[in-house]
Amino acid sequence: MVEVGNIVYYRKAEDSSGELVPGLVVDFSAPQMTIEFQEVLTLISGDAGGICFKRNDKLFCAAAAVQMVLESRPRTVIRFRVSGEPETIEGRQSLRVSTAVEKIPVDAGKQAIGQLMDVSGDGLAATLFHEHKLGEVLNLNITFRGQRFTGKATVCNIRDLGGGRFRYGLRPVAREANLTRGLQTIAATLQRERRQREVEHAGR
């Protein structure tokens, strides 16, 4: 289903909005899966929900119950018991968190600084100012709110934007913990801030 180092998403059973909270798989021995979340989650043993992940370009979700909260702050680490067979669900786009307006810098070595465009359950999209080939492995550097995340990622798709700019779809190489944690941090932080703005706007 998934491997250690993969980004997955937790969905509360009672959450009608279908909001997905990103987390990093730090241990997996079926049926137990331990996930580290950058967000502080208020869950207790027995809480039901689902673990979502991408496979063959489809979004799947498996039922999961909280077995034990191993750590609550500054990040949340939870051991889940996953049950049943994963089922495909709609809403694959909900895994993508747009980062374009944040102007998060990213580069692949000594080339000009590019920009992170979005992060998702299994990778990222970025604009860079140098042409790379499909399957090429890049050394990425992402700077977000004073934090630097680095790691290797494979070029999965390319779009020429003109003017020497290219948009790349990239997937972290297996076990690139610093990069995958960075994607998790960025997604969780931006989702939390956007939820807060929505709440404040609704209260006006």
Neighbours of 70 (CB within 10 A): 14
Residue ranges per domain, the chain?
Answer: 7-94, 96-201
Helix-strand-coil split of the chain, %, nearest 5: 15, 50, 30
Domain 7-94 matches domain 96-201 at the CATH topology level: no
Q: Which pLDDT score, from 0 to 100, does residue 39 have?
A: 78
Helix, strand or coil, per DSSP, at residue 81: strand
Residue range 96-201, CATH number: 2.40.10.220
Confidence label for 16 from pLDDT (cuts 50, 70 and 90): very low
pLDDT surpasses 60 at 75: yes
Residue range 7-94, CATH number: 2.30.110
In tens, the pLDDT along 103-158 reads 999 998 867 789 999 997 668 999 999 899 998 999 999 999 999 999 999 998 89
